């Protein structure tokens, strides 16, 4: 009888270990309206679900339109940490720049960095692997005449520097979008190449972002 019980306990332990090993990596995409739209049909998160093995990845969107870095910080507990993520991909910055011109608001560079550092610190304290994204575009003209090009480049560099200081993987969407537009926007259009309205993604934009995210996630879980 003792032998049978031991055998059953062994099989149970093996089964539990197998179930634990098979648990998919839970990824939360944390951002603004671009991420909010990303979960919809054809959005970059929706596309990623078809590109990544479902038994290896669980993808969750946590985007809210109009959000800036301090909005993310304030809702992080309920919208991200409560989901117990293994990986958090942070994609923010467009509204911190864009709203300066469109609404007279925005986020000053020093405050942007402080809030971002605090956000990263809290995510790391929760044992989540963090990945950072640079803001992709506010206008697609390739001659650097988009109104917010200067600020967008500055904030992208702030994120690159933060990723380097914290030894965090970076998904440089700003760089990827610029390179794509240089090759595919010979008429110097302000929208319609990767975006519908200079900011939000069209089909090509969603495909490009999904490809960049897939590459980064695949590297992260090796």
- Answer whether residue 9 is part of any domain: no
Give the integer Cα–Cα distance in Å for 73 and 81: 11
State the average pLDDT over residues 138-157: 96
- Answer whether residue 8 is part of any domain: no
State the average pLDDT over residues 181-197: 98
Residue 4: pLDDT band (50, 70, 90) is low
Residue 10: pLDDT band (50, 70, 90) is low
State the average pLDDT over residues 206-221: 94
Tens-digit pLDDT profile for residues 114-124: 999 999 999 99
Tens-digit pLDDT profile for residues 30-68: 999 999 999 999 999 999 999 999 999 999 999 999 999
| Of the candidate ranges 29-33, 103-107, 126-130, 201-205, the one whose mean pLDDT is the lowest | 103-107
- Answer whether residue 14 is part of any domain: no
- Answer whether residue 18 is part of any domain: no
| Of the candidate ranges 6-10, 135-139, 190-194, the one whose mean pLDDT is the lowest | 6-10
CB-side neighbour CA atoms (13 Å) of 21: 6
Structure-block tokens of residue 8:
């059953």
Q: Specify the pLDDT at position 99.
A: 82
- Answer whether residue 11 is part of any domain: no
Domain count, the chain: 1
- Answer whether residue 38 is part of any domain: yes
- Answer whether residue 16 is part of any domain: no
Q: Specify the pLDDT at position 8.
A: 55
Residue 11: pLDDT band (50, 70, 90) is low
Tens-digit pLDDT profile for residues 69-123: 999 999 999 999 999 999 999 999 999 998 877 667 889 999 999 999 999 999 9
CATH of the domain at 188: 3.40.50.1110
Q: Specify the pLDDT at position 91.
A: 98
Tens-digit pLDDT profile for residues 148-179: 999 999 999 999 999 999 999 999 999 999 99
State the average pLDDT over residues 135-153: 96
Angle between helix axes 149-166 and 109-125 (nearest 10 degrees) is: 30
pTM over 0.75? The answer is: yes
- Answer whether residue 82 is part of any domain: yes
Q: Specify the pLDDT at position 14.
A: 45
Domain with 137 in it = 23-220
Distance between start and end Cα atoms, the chain: 43
């Amino acid at each position: 009888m003792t032998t049978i019980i031991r055998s059953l306990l062994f099989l149970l332990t093996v089964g539990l270990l197998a179930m634990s090993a098979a648990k998919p990596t839970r990824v939360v995409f944390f951002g603004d309206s671009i991420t909010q739209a990303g979960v919809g049909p054809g959005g970059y998160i929706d596309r990623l679900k078809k590109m990544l093995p479902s038994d290896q990845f669980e993808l969750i969107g946590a985007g809210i339109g109009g959000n800036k870095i301090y909005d993310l910080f304030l809702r992080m507990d309920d919208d991200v940490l409560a989901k117990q993520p293994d990986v958090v991909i942070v994609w923010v910055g467009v509204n911190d720049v864009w709203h300066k011109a469109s609404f007279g608001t925005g986020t000053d560079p020093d405050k942007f960095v402080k809030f971002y550092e605090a956000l990263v610190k809290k995510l790391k304290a929760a044992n989540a692997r963090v990945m950072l994204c640079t803001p992709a575009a506010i206008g697609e003209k390739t001659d650097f005449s988009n109104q917010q090009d200067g600020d967008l480049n500055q904030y992208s560099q702030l994120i690159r520097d933060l990723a380097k200081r914290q030894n965090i993987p970076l998904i440089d969407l700003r760089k990827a979008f610029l390179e794509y537009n240089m090759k595919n926007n010979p008429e110097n259009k302000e929208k319609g190449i990767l975006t519908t309205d200079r900011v939000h993604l069209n089909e090509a934009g969603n495909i490009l972002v999904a490809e960049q995210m897939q590459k980064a996630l695949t590297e992260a879980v090796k």
